Protein backbone atom coordinates (compact mmCIF):
# COMPACT_ATOMS: atom_id res chain seq x y z
CA UNK A 1 0.00 0.00 0.00
CA UNK A 2 1.44 3.36 -1.05
CA UNK A 3 2.05 5.92 1.69
CA UNK A 4 0.78 9.49 1.82
CA UNK A 5 2.59 12.80 1.75
CA UNK A 6 1.75 15.31 4.49
CA UNK A 7 2.78 18.94 4.15
CA UNK A 8 3.37 20.95 7.34
CA UNK A 9 3.82 24.71 6.94
CA UNK A 10 4.07 27.63 9.33
CA UNK A 11 5.81 30.99 9.39
CA UNK A 12 9.45 30.97 10.59
CA UNK A 13 9.45 30.34 14.34
CA UNK A 14 6.00 28.77 14.18
CA UNK A 15 7.19 25.47 15.69
CA UNK A 16 6.97 23.23 12.62
CA UNK A 17 10.45 21.70 13.01
CA UNK A 18 10.01 20.97 16.74
CA UNK A 19 6.59 19.39 16.18
CA UNK A 20 7.73 17.37 13.15
CA UNK A 21 10.57 15.86 15.23
CA UNK A 22 8.09 14.84 17.97
CA UNK A 23 5.73 13.28 15.41
CA UNK A 24 8.49 11.22 13.80
CA UNK A 25 9.35 9.75 17.21
CA UNK A 26 5.73 8.91 18.06
CA UNK A 27 4.14 7.68 14.83
CA UNK A 28 5.31 4.34 13.37
CA UNK A 29 6.05 4.29 9.62
CA UNK A 30 6.20 8.09 9.43
CA UNK A 31 9.37 9.65 8.04
CA UNK A 32 10.40 13.26 7.64
CA UNK A 33 11.47 14.31 4.17
CA UNK A 34 14.94 15.84 4.35
CA UNK A 35 14.92 18.85 2.08
CA UNK A 36 17.84 20.63 0.40
CA UNK A 37 18.95 24.19 1.08
CA UNK A 38 21.76 26.60 0.24
CA UNK A 39 21.57 28.38 3.59
CA UNK A 40 24.33 27.87 6.16
CA UNK A 41 23.70 25.29 8.92
CA UNK A 42 22.56 26.68 12.28
CA UNK A 43 24.47 25.56 15.40
CA UNK A 44 23.77 21.87 16.01
CA UNK A 45 22.33 21.17 12.54
CA UNK A 46 23.79 18.23 10.63
CA UNK A 47 23.99 17.57 6.90
CA UNK A 48 21.70 14.70 5.89
CA UNK A 49 19.80 14.91 9.19
CA UNK A 50 18.29 18.40 9.31
CA UNK A 51 18.84 19.35 5.65
CA UNK A 52 21.06 18.49 2.74
CA UNK A 53 23.24 21.60 2.69
CA UNK A 54 24.23 22.35 -0.91
CA UNK A 55 26.18 25.09 -2.65
CA UNK A 56 24.23 27.41 -4.94
CA UNK A 57 25.94 25.79 -7.95
CA UNK A 58 24.99 22.26 -6.84
CA UNK A 59 21.39 23.31 -6.23
CA UNK A 60 21.03 25.03 -9.61
CA UNK A 61 22.50 21.97 -11.36
CA UNK A 62 19.83 19.80 -9.69
CA UNK A 63 17.13 22.23 -10.85
CA UNK A 64 18.34 21.82 -14.44
CA UNK A 65 18.23 18.03 -14.06
CA UNK A 66 14.62 18.22 -12.78
CA UNK A 67 15.50 16.59 -9.47
CA UNK A 68 13.12 18.63 -7.28
CA UNK A 69 9.39 18.15 -6.69
CA UNK A 70 9.36 21.84 -5.79
CA UNK A 71 11.87 24.54 -4.96
CA UNK A 72 11.76 28.17 -3.90
CA UNK A 73 13.99 31.07 -2.89
CA UNK A 74 13.27 32.11 0.71
CA UNK A 75 15.21 34.94 2.40
CA UNK A 76 17.81 34.75 -0.39
CA UNK A 77 18.43 31.00 -0.11
CA UNK A 78 17.20 28.06 -2.18
CA UNK A 79 15.05 25.36 -0.57
CA UNK A 80 13.86 22.27 -2.44
CA UNK A 81 12.28 18.82 -2.06
CA UNK A 82 14.19 15.92 -3.68
CA UNK A 83 11.87 14.00 -6.01
CA UNK A 84 13.58 10.59 -6.03
CA UNK A 85 13.66 10.09 -2.23
CA UNK A 86 9.98 11.06 -1.85
CA UNK A 87 8.72 8.70 -4.57
CA UNK A 88 10.86 5.81 -3.32
CA UNK A 89 9.70 6.11 0.30
CA UNK A 90 6.01 6.49 -0.65
CA UNK A 91 6.20 3.39 -2.85
CA UNK A 92 7.64 1.47 0.11
CA UNK A 93 4.48 2.31 2.08
CA UNK A 94 5.88 4.99 4.37
CA UNK A 95 3.89 8.13 5.18
CA UNK A 96 6.07 11.19 4.73
CA UNK A 97 6.05 14.50 6.57
CA UNK A 98 7.40 17.40 4.53
CA UNK A 99 8.11 20.68 6.32
CA UNK A 100 7.98 23.46 3.72
CA UNK A 101 6.76 27.04 3.38
CA UNK A 102 3.69 28.38 1.57
CA UNK A 103 5.56 28.89 -1.72
CA UNK A 104 6.69 25.27 -1.69
CA UNK A 105 3.20 23.98 -0.87
CA UNK A 106 1.69 25.90 -3.80
CA UNK A 107 4.26 24.52 -6.21
CA UNK A 108 3.81 20.99 -4.91
CA UNK A 109 0.02 21.18 -5.26
CA UNK A 110 0.47 21.93 -8.97
CA UNK A 111 2.72 18.89 -9.48
CA UNK A 112 1.19 16.42 -7.04
CA UNK A 113 -2.53 16.20 -6.27
CA UNK A 114 -2.63 13.48 -3.60
CA UNK A 115 -1.16 15.44 -0.68
CA UNK A 116 -2.58 16.43 2.72
CA UNK A 117 -1.71 19.97 3.78
CA UNK A 118 -1.57 21.30 7.36
CA UNK A 119 -0.96 24.93 8.36
CA UNK A 120 0.46 25.56 11.84
CA UNK A 121 -0.48 29.04 13.00
CA UNK A 122 1.22 30.92 15.88
CA UNK A 123 -0.82 32.47 18.72
CA UNK A 124 0.53 35.94 17.82
CA UNK A 125 3.20 37.77 15.84
CA UNK A 126 4.81 38.82 19.15
CA UNK A 127 5.18 35.17 20.13
CA UNK A 128 6.85 34.44 16.76
CA UNK A 129 9.35 37.22 17.41
CA UNK A 130 10.11 35.90 20.92
CA UNK A 131 10.74 32.39 19.59
CA UNK A 132 13.18 33.68 16.96
CA UNK A 133 14.99 35.81 19.56
CA UNK A 134 15.20 32.80 21.89
CA UNK A 135 16.89 30.66 19.23
CA UNK A 136 19.40 33.44 18.57
CA UNK A 137 18.35 34.68 15.11
CA UNK A 138 20.03 38.00 14.16
CA UNK A 139 17.77 41.09 14.45
CA UNK A 140 17.92 41.78 10.70
CA UNK A 141 16.80 38.19 9.98
CA UNK A 142 13.97 38.45 12.51
CA UNK A 143 12.60 41.59 10.81
CA UNK A 144 12.77 39.90 7.41
CA UNK A 145 11.05 36.74 8.68
CA UNK A 146 8.28 38.67 10.47
CA UNK A 147 7.46 40.49 7.21
CA UNK A 148 7.36 37.13 5.40
CA UNK A 149 5.12 35.70 8.15
CA UNK A 150 2.60 38.52 7.68
CA UNK A 151 2.38 37.59 3.97
CA UNK A 152 2.14 33.83 4.65
CA UNK A 153 -0.56 33.78 7.35
CA UNK A 154 -3.45 34.72 4.97
CA UNK A 155 -2.62 31.52 2.99
CA UNK A 156 -4.15 29.34 5.75
CA UNK A 157 -7.34 29.01 3.66
CA UNK A 158 -5.39 27.10 0.98
CA UNK A 159 -4.63 24.23 3.40
CA UNK A 160 -6.74 21.17 4.27
CA UNK A 161 -6.19 21.62 8.02
CA UNK A 162 -5.21 24.45 10.37
CA UNK A 163 -3.73 23.91 13.84
CA UNK A 164 -3.11 26.64 16.43
CA UNK A 165 0.26 26.28 18.13
CA UNK A 166 -0.46 27.99 21.44
CA UNK A 167 0.76 24.91 23.33
CA UNK A 168 3.31 22.61 21.69
CA UNK A 169 1.98 19.27 23.04
CA UNK A 170 -1.62 20.09 22.13
CA UNK A 171 -0.63 21.20 18.61
CA UNK A 172 1.46 18.04 18.17
CA UNK A 173 -1.43 15.83 19.30
CA UNK A 174 -3.84 17.54 16.88
CA UNK A 175 -1.50 16.93 13.93
CA UNK A 176 -0.95 13.34 15.09
CA UNK A 177 -4.74 12.77 14.98
CA UNK A 178 -4.86 14.14 11.42
CA UNK A 179 -2.11 11.76 10.23
CA UNK A 180 -3.55 8.68 11.99
CA UNK A 181 -7.10 9.37 10.79
CA UNK A 182 -5.84 9.41 7.16
CA UNK A 183 -4.65 5.84 7.70
CA UNK A 184 -8.25 4.78 8.46
CA UNK A 185 -9.56 5.77 5.02
CA UNK A 186 -11.27 2.97 3.14
CA UNK A 187 -8.75 3.35 0.30
CA UNK A 188 -5.93 2.39 2.69
CA UNK A 189 -7.67 -0.51 4.41
CA UNK A 190 -5.71 -3.78 4.36
CA UNK A 191 -8.22 -6.17 2.77
CA UNK A 192 -5.90 -9.07 3.56
CA UNK A 193 -6.84 -8.63 7.25
CA UNK A 194 -10.34 -10.00 6.48
CA UNK A 195 -10.24 -13.78 6.94
CA UNK A 196 -13.88 -14.73 7.54
CA UNK A 197 -15.46 -16.12 4.30
CA UNK A 198 -18.93 -14.71 5.05
CA UNK A 199 -17.57 -11.28 5.87
CA UNK A 200 -15.51 -11.37 2.65
CA UNK A 201 -18.64 -12.22 0.67
CA UNK A 202 -20.65 -9.41 2.31
CA UNK A 203 -17.82 -6.97 1.56
CA UNK A 204 -17.68 -8.10 -2.07
CA UNK A 205 -14.13 -9.43 -1.79
Domains and CATH numbers, the chain: 5-33+93-203 (3.40.50.300)
Directed axis angle between helix 16-26 and helix 168-182, to 10°?
Answer: 50
104-162 pLDDT, tens per residue?
A: 899 898 878 789 999 999 988 888 888 888 888 888 888 888 988 899 999 999 999 99
Per DSSP, helices labelled H in 92-203 are 102-111, 125-134, 139-152, 168-182, 197-203
Contact yes or no for 20/6 (Cβ under 8 A): no
Q: Is 120 exposed, middle or buried (0-12, 13-18, 19+ CB in 10 A)?
A: buried
| Average pLDDT, rounded, for the chain | 91
pLDDT at 1 over 80: no
Give residues with Cβ within 8 angstroms of 91, minimum separation 6: 2
Strands across the sheet with 30-32, in order?
A: 30-32, 95-99, 5-9, 115-121, 161-164
- The pLDDT assigned to 68 comes to 93
pTM over 0.75: yes
Contact yes or no for 27/200 (Cβ under 8 A): no
Amino acid sequence: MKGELFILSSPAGGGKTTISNLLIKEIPNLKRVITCTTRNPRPGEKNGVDYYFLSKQEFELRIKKGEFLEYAIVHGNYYGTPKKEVEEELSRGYDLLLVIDVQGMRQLKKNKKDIITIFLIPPSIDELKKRMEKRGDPEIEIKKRIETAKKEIPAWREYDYIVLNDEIQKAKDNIKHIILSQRLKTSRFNLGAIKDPELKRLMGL
